[in-house]
């Protein structure tokens, strides 16, 4: 054995060793190996604020065996032949630095390699282009860890004393709880109102289609009066307008959009999505799953283009380069995509396969042609009523394009009609519809909101959502909703009848709801520690970490700027 490569996860180690061959032995640190001590032996604070926030670290007790094994292997190959191949983000860089410290490796010269997919090409390319540990990234990670520890360390005891059921207060979790509490209060305050919406089923050439009246009625009496006025009326097609339209595919997945879509389409929680993506990444099936870039490598675009042309024909291929909006996103990184686009099945695990399929189809769709549609609007006049008319809307997909693989369209096909055609109807209803309160967040929509506000980063969304639930500040709803009465007036061509039907309202299934202790903690922090739950302030702190990573801001200056007013 000539070289030792250290990675983060045991599953990854096996895959990488296979690609590197017999000159390399690959071992794993099994994630983080050290953390800031809870208490120091001599009673000094674990983080020395006066001494530029110097933090005392200790090896995690359950990692002692791992470290012993790594030390033995480092000794066998010699320090010059050790390669650090932890993940390519801030956390991964910090683990590489901790490994240097614990294994006594020189930080200035130890070889550090990164790759964002576990394929033979990516690994051999990384070995050819080693760098050293990026201390700016490490400082950014340390700043985040120190700050979070200080906030938790100083704020949590206050919360325990003052807030019944308060477990702790976190720098990023607290604004997330506040978001949910604010939304819950908007729902509570919401004053419901109702209107009557009129729809008709028309028939032409034995084909039925639906049309909607261009006005809603505020009262049952007005709706009843309108339906009664239809008794002598005939219905005539007065106008047919057709407009061509196109629909473009979305960008390939980032961490945030993957969590949103897996939640909406597959019902996966953020935590389940990330665990599944992690397994797919470690098995070399997808690229690195923590990214805020929508960029695809030239090679990935070329192989997707080739595959699309072979499978569907050249008309379906449109090369697209997506640009990442966020300034902090690193364009060298890639969106989440399959390492081999031609592979449909990669695992026997049903969950992982479903997620892989979603990632693969989204990547393919991003390099496919726009779908072409024809939107049709038909206006139907009511004899004897100049003000009101019915409208039927439909669309026909004339070329399916990317819809062939991702997000098929709902076609509402209308019959072939001409201006002046008279239509038959046997069913016109006025149904009571209620104004909807703002909707509660799901895990997916909360991730989107946090991202829009600039709170959290790809590596932290799932943790934030998991933590607020574990602490008992938020729970997932499971109610199907409450029944409510709905008035339905029906006109069958001869008379108007009235029915009361029931519908469910206010379902909370899969929605995030703050608990009473969540509401207490959000109010307490909003009243006394405004900054901690302030959205702009929290987002600004994230931007400052990015600045430290880019060497545009000193770690100690950033920490002093936060800590001094916070401590006071």
Q: Are 520 and 514 in contact (CB under 8 A)?
A: no
Q: Are 159 and 151 in contact (CB under 8 A)?
A: no
Q: What is the DSSP string of 153-167?
A: HHHHHHHHHHSTT--
CA separation for the pair 98, 105 (Å, rounded): 10
Of 426 and 101, more confident:
101
Does the pLDDT of residue 20 top 70, yes or no? Answer: yes
Kindly report the average pLDDT of the chain as a whole number: 92
The predicted model gives 54-75 an average pLDDT of: 92
Position 326 scores a pLDDT of 59
Least-confidence region, from 343-357, 510-524, 528-542? 528-542
pLDDT in tens, 163-212: 887 888 888 899 999 999 999 999 999 998 999 999 999 999 888 999 99
Of 324 and 66, more confident:
66
Position 327 scores a pLDDT of 52
19 is catalytic: no
Closest Cα to residue 28, out of 58, 57, 70?
70
CA separation for the pair 223, 211 (Å, rounded): 16
Question: Within 371-492, where are the H helices?
Answer: 443-453, 461-470
Position 409 scores a pLDDT of 65
Coil vs helix vs strand at 413: coil
pLDDT in tens, 86-97: 988 888 999 999
Does the pLDDT of residue 524 top 90, yes or no? Answer: yes
CA atoms within 13 A on the CB side of 245: 14
The predicted model gives 259-280 an average pLDDT of: 95
Position 41 scores a pLDDT of 82
CA separation for the pair 318, 435 (Å, rounded): 42
The predicted model gives 52-81 an average pLDDT of: 92
Position 40 scores a pLDDT of 82
Distances (CA, A) of 243 to 259, 375, 419, 556: 35, 5, 17, 60
- The residue annotated as part of the active site, out of 281, 288, 316, 356, is 288
Does the pLDDT of residue 330 top 60, yes or no? Answer: no
Strand order in the sheet with 24-28: 24-28, 3-7, 82-84, 111-112
Does the pLDDT of residue 307 top 90, yes or no? Answer: yes
CA separation for the pair 340, 151 (Å, rounded): 44
Counting residues of the chain whose pLDDT is more than 90, the rounded percentage is 78
Position 473 scores a pLDDT of 95
Query: Is residue 459 very low, low, confident or very high in pLDDT (cuts 50, 70, 90)?
Result: confident
Position 163 scores a pLDDT of 87
pLDDT in tens, 526-542: 999 988 889 999 999 99
Terminal CA-CA length for the chain: 56
Does the pLDDT of residue 38 top 90, yes or no? Answer: no
Q: Are 27 and 73 in contact (CB under 8 A)?
A: yes
pLDDT in tens, 236-262: 999 999 999 999 999 999 999 999 999
């Amino acid at each position: 054995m000539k070289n030792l490569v250290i990675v983060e996860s045991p599953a990854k180690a096996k895959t990488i060793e296979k690609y590197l061959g017999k000159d390399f032995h690959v071992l794993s640190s099994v994630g983080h190996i050290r953390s800031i001590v809870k208490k120091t032996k001599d009673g000094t604070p674990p983080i020395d604020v006066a001494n530029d926030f110097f933090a005392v670290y200790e090896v995690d007790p359950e990692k002692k065996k791992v470290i012993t094994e790594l030390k033995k292997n480092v000794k066998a190959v010699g320090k010059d032949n050790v390669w650090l191949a932890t993940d390519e983000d801030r956390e991964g860089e910090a683990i590489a630095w901790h490994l240097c410290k614990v294994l006594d490796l020189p930080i200035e010269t130890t070889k550090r390699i990164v790759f964002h997919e576990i394929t033979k090409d990516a690994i051999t390319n990384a070995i050819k282009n080693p760098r050293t540990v990026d201390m700016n990234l490490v400082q950014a990670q340390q700043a985040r860890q120190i700050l979070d520890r200080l906030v938790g360390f100083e704020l949590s005891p206050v919360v325990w004393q003052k807030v019944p059921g308060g477990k702790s207060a976190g720098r990023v979790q607290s604004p997330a709880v506040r978001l949910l509490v604010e939304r819950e209060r908007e729902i509570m305050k919401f004053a419901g109102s109702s209107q009557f919406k009129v729809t008709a089923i028309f028939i032409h050439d034995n084909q039925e289609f639906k049309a909607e009246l261009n006005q809603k009625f505020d009262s049952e009496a007005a709706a009843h009066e309108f339906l009664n006025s239809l008794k002598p009326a005939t219905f005539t097609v007065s106008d047919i307008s057709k407009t061509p339209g196109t629909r473009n595919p979305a960008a390939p997945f980032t961490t945030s959009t993957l969590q949103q879509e897996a939640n909406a389409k597959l019902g996966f929680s953020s935590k389940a999505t990330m665990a599944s993506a992690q397994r797919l990444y470690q098995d070399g099936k997808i690229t690195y799953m923590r990214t805020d870039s929508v960029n695809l490598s030239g090679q990935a675009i070329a192989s997707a283009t080739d595959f699309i042309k072979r499978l569907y024909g050249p008309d379906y291929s449109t090369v697209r380069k997506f640009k990442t909006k966020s300034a902090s996103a690193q364009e060298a990184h890639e969106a989440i995509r399959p390492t081999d686009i031609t592979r449909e099945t990669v695992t026997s695990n049903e969950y992982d396969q479903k997620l892989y399929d979603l990632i693969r189809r989204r990547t393919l769709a991003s390099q496919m042609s726009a779908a072409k549609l024809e939107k049709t609007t038909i206006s139907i006049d009511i004899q004897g009523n100049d003000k009101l008319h019915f409208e039927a809307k439909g669309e026909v997909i004339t070329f399916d394009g990317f819809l062939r693989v991702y997000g098929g369209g709902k076609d509402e096909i209308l019959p072939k009609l001409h201006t002046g055609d008279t239509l038959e109807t046997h069913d016109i209803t006025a149904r009571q519809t209620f104004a909807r309160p703002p909707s509660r967040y799901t895990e997916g929509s909360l991730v989107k909101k946090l991202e829009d506000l600039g709170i959290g980063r790809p590596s932290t969304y799932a943790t934030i959502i998991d933590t607020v639930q574990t602490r008992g500040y938020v729970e997932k709803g499971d109610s199907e909703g409450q029944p409510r009465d709905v008035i339905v007036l029906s006109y069958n061509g001869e008379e108007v009848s009235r029915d009361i039907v029931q519908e469910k309202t206010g379902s909370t299934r899969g929605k995030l709801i703050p608990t009473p202790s969540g509401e207490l903690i959000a109010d307490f922090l909003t009243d006394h520690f405004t900054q901690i739950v302030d959205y702009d302030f929290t987002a600004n702190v994230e931007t400052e970490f990015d600045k430290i990573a880019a060497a545009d801001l000193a770690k100690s200056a950033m920490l002093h700027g936060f800590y001094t007013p916070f401590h006071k």
